[in-house]
């Protein structure tokens, strides 16, 4: 289990260049890779994003690459001689056709498109991929190590909170028969007061059965414990589990709400409030899990 928050930085040298890479990962529902590369290395953008995606399944990734030094061999300005010659001949024809005075000068070429062009030496750019890839591997290894370590800390905290929820459910389960018995005693006492000690035991039993059915919380407790078990099982998987845990928490919250409505007991209601508080704390922690 991994956290989604981490930071790592790496640096390497290659052909008199210093390449610096910083990476930060943050919480996000999906995978969102934000990449900042030097303009001259923009042809490698998709390659870098794909490489990051192979190592990080979920979360926002902010990656910045900086290069210092002489980036010789990368995009440079060149002359399109073919276009320049054609333009020169056209100017010669225009000059003769219109009987114009003066010479054809360099200034006349400066604003013409396609004569001066930027050429990227793709072969040289591809050479950058090898050192950049090694640096990415190093930084991603450190990022994932940090995410795993933080994930272990989250796991310990979650296990403690899950155990507390389990204990509270046990208390509620133990309390449920007492609630029914107390209700039976209160109902019998009220009936005796109203009917001057003459109690219809059959009618009393029917009322108690009706109350027991209406306030039975066995199903909710069983489902909640099942969700707790599934929650713990997901801790041992190497796959991203954040979304699954979030879904289980939604189901747990729904069951706890139903339990609170049906319980009809002050002490159980208090314990339900405690469980809700723990589930909310767990939910906040789960937002950090990949």
Q: Does residue 209 belong to any structural domain of this protein?
A: yes
| pLDDT at 71 (0 to 100) | 60
69 within 8 A of 18, measured Cβ to Cβ:
yes
Domain match, 159 and 280 both: yes
Domain match, 92 and 128 both: no
Residues of the chain with pLDDT below 70 are 70-77, 110-111, 113, 116-124, 179-215
Q: Does residue 1 belong to any structural domain of this protein?
A: no
| pLDDT at 237 (0 to 100) | 83
Please report, for the domain that includes residue 40, its CATH number. 3.30.230
Domain count along the chain: 3
This prediction's pTM: 0.67
Domain match, 40 and 93 both: no
Helices (H), the chain: 45-53, 81-98, 122-195, 201-214, 218-235, 242-263, 266-286
Helices (H), 9-121: 45-53, 81-98
Domain match, 13 and 143 both: yes
Domain match, 174 and 96 both: no
E strand or H helix at 60, and its extent? Answer: strand 59-68
Domain that holds residue 14: 6-71+122-148
| pLDDT at 176 (0 to 100) | 76
E strand or H helix at 26, and its extent? Answer: strand 17-26
Give the pLDDT confidence of 23-42 residue by residue, as tens digits: 999 999 889 999 999 877 88
Domain match, 137 and 163 both: no
Domain match, 195 and 94 both: no
**d(Cα 72, Cα 68) in Å, to the nearest integer?**
12
User: Which positions ≥6 away from 26 have C-beta within 8 Å?
Assistant: 4, 5, 59, 60, 62
Domain match, 167 and 198 both: yes
Domain match, 62 and 160 both: no
Q: CA neighbours within 13 Å on the CB side: how many for 274?
A: 17
């Amino acid at each position: 289990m991994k956290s989604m928050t981490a930071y790592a930085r790496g640096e390497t040298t290659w052909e008199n260049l210093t390449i610096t890479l910083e990476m930060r990962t943050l919480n996000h529902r999906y995978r969102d890779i934000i990449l900042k590369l030097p303009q001259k290395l923009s042809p490698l953008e998709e390659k870098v994003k794909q490489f990051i995606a192979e190592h990080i399944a979920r979360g926002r990734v902010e990656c910045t690459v900086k290069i210092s030094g002489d980036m010789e061999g990368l995009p440079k300005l060149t002359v399109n001689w073919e276009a320049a010659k054609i333009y020169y001949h056209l100017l010669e024809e225009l000059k003769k056709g219109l009987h114009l005075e003066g010479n054809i000068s360099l200034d006349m070429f400066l604003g013409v498109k396609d004569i001066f062009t930027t050429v990227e030496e793709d072969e040289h750019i591809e050479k950058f991929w090898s050192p950049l890839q090694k640096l990415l591997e190093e930084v991603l290894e450190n990022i994932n190590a940090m995410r795993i370590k933080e994930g272990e800390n989250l796991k310990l905290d979650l296990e403690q909170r899950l155990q507390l929820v389990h204990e509270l459910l046990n208390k509620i389960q133990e309390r449920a028969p007492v609630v029914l018995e107390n209700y039976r005693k209160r109902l019998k006492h009220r009936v005796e007061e109203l009917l001057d000690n003459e109690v219809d035991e059959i009618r009393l039993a029917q009322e108690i059965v009706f109350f027991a059915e209406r306030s039975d919380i066995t199903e909710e407790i069983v489902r909640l414990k099942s969700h707790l078990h599934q929650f713990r099982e997901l801790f041992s998987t190497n796959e991203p589990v954040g979304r699954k845990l979030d879904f289980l928490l939604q189901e747990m919250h729904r069951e706890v709400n139903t339990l609170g409505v049906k319980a009809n007991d002050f002490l159980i209601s208090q314990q339900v409030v405690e469980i809700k508080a723990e589930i909310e704390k767990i939910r906040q922690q789960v937002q950090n899990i990949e």
